[in-house]
Chain A
Amino acid sequence: MRPHTTEAVTSVDQDPQQQQTDPTVGGTQDASRIAGAPLQRKPRRDVSQTGRRVTVSGLNAWYGDQHAVKDLEIEFAPNEVTAIIGPSGCGKSTMVRCLNRMHEEIPGARSSGSVELDGADVYGDGVDVVAVRRTVGMVFQKPNPFPTMSVFDNVASGLRLTGARGGKLRERVEQTLRGAGLWEEVKDRLGQPGIGLSGGQQQRLCIARTLAVEPEVILMDEPCSALDPIATLKVEELIEELKSRYTIVIVTHNMQQAARVADRTAFMLAGELVEVDETDKMFTNPGDERTEQYVTGKFG
């Protein structure tokens, strides 16, 4: 089983020894068995879209010789919000960055194992990485609208990728901004720079930009850590609405946020998945002693 590394990344890998100690993982990555779930060519969006099921198995990730994610098995269901919690450095961000193949962009980073979207392995042969990242969108900790672009263009840039033009484009921009709960606030300033918006608005603009390319899975890496409480609640409301159309995975340091927004919560520690369960269960009666210790603030 080959590890997930781009050629360039392999060449910067400083430790060939580590390469040999990579655990091999089960399952085939033969793209030919992936039927009816084309990642190379994105299908037109189904109106009754419900997001895709993400199945992670035997996932390992490294930064050089640092083993950041260890033998992870987890599944993210459509129309559900799954929160990943855990202390800093536990591998939660790394794990979600493996879901849309962002991890391998970091020099020295590599991973192995499989990540399937409704059965199609995103690490399969011949899979178009760009298509993967379009299907599995990502929202980051710090709002990062394109700095030189207007509010309109921030969203339109993504929509143009889907082929929208002219009047249809304007219609879709409005639709997308509405979908991100931002339209009413920005409809009179569409031509102004995106970075002129407040932090919370910028973050929802970034969510709109992510939605514009019609993803099916949305990854959020600490999407509210730079926002004030009200902006945070607005984003959380938005997450609740988006849930009906997407599979959502949110990494958060804020356990109350996980408790508020997530249907299921996963607790990671030192690169391993300790426990994943219904959020109610995780915060009232967790099964693992380490989860109990962490959520009650006894360590972390």
Chain B
Amino acid sequence: MPGQLREQFLRELARLEEQALGGLDLVCESLDRVLEAVQHCDIELAEMVIADDDRIDGRYLEVHQGVLSLLARQAPVATDLRLVAALLDVIKHVERMGDQCVNIAKILPLSGHSPPAHDEMRSKIAEMGAQARSEVAQAKIAFESRDVALAHDLVRQDERINRLNREVFKLAIEIGDDPDRREWAMHMMLMARAIERIGDNAVDIGEQVAFVVTGLFREFTDASHPEMAPPPVV
């Protein structure tokens, strides 16, 4: 086949993808900082995370506008169309993950500078955070390389977060007997919940990878119909 037509368009599309996936790097940064803030009860750092979420929101607007513009001017079809639609989805998840980081950052000061911490709880939160970060990074690599198997592996990865989340819940109930630490434990549970949502968003991005590649959209896991989950792609 002769040389590439629509080079200009393909360049724009590639740039849009880079922008959207770059949003995942911003999420990782935000997540790193908010997790550090949680570990050290660093409220100033948490405030920075809140302030810097404007960058992620700005990225959302840029990509959203870019998608509209490409749809209007270039009328992409087939794989190109699926990619554009997927990027709109990805950037929405990026924006949501940024907001979850903000949620965590907002919870932190509620317990004060030196809360009556519980080491096991804190380390589980740290573990969840690290796992969520690695999922976000993996979602990015899977998307960039259109690697459906790697995308599907996110489901397996995410099970770890879900398990930790249940453990945090149980711990919180146990700690709940102690009136001094009850409130702190509840805050930790909310943080765990926010991290758990970030993991879910990463899995959703993985679903978009499969959509771009195969043209079929299927949820990797369907919470309302677990029996209908597709077999894992290996």
Contacts and interface: CB of A to CB of B under 8 A. Distances in A.
Interface in B65-108: 75-82
A255 B75 CA distance: 10
Given A259-B77, A296-B6, A299-B5, 19 more contacts: A256-B75, A283-B77, A283-B78, A283-B81, A284-B78, A284-B81, A284-B82, A284-B215, A285-B215, A291-B78, A292-B78, A292-B79, A295-B78, A296-B76, A296-B78, A296-B79, A296-B80, A298-B5, A298-B6
B51 interface: no
Contacts, number: 39
A285 B78 contact: yes
Given A284-B82, A284-B215, A295 B2 contact: no
Interface string A244-275: 00000000000110010000000000000000
Nearest to B2: A299
A255 B77 contact: yes
What size tier do the contact residues of chain B reach?
10 to 19
Interface string B180-216: 0000000000000000000000000000000000011
B74 to A, nearest CB: 9
Nearest to B4: A298
Nearest to A256: B75
Binding site secondary structure of chain B:
loop
Contact of A300 (B5, B79, B215): B5
Interface string B1-40: 1101110010000000000000000000000000000000
A297 interface: yes
Contacts of A292: 78-79
B77 A284 contact: yes
Contacts of A298: 1, 4-6
A284 B4 CA distance: 20
A179 interface: no
Contacts of B216: 285
A278 to B, nearest CB: 13
A14 interface: no
Nearest to A300: B5
Interface residues of A, number: 16
Most buried by A among B6, B78, B79: B78
Interface string A29-41: 0000000000000
A106 B4 CA distance: 36
A284 B77 CA distance: 6
B73 to A, nearest CB: 12
12 contacts: A256-B75, A283-B81, A284-B77, A284-B215, A285-B78, A285-B216, A296-B78, A297-B9, A298-B4, A298-B5, A299-B5, A300-B5
Most buried by B among A255, A297, A299: A297
A260 to B, nearest CB: 10
B166 to A, nearest CB: 38
Nearest to B6: A297
Nearest to A287: B215
A295 B77 contact: yes
A170 B9 CA distance: 53
A259 B71 CA distance: 14
Contacts of A293: 1
A297 B6 CA distance: 6
B1 to A, nearest CB: 5
A286 interface: yes
B215 A297 contact: no
In the A-B complex, the 6 residue pairs with the closest CB atoms: A285-B215, A297-B6, A283-B77, A299-B1, A295-B77, A292-B78
A296 B79 CA distance: 8
Most buried by B among A285, A286, A293, A300: A285
B33 to A, nearest CB: 40
Contacts of A300: 5
A300 B6 CA distance: 11
Contacts of B80: 296
B158 to A, nearest CB: 27
B6 to A, nearest CB: 4
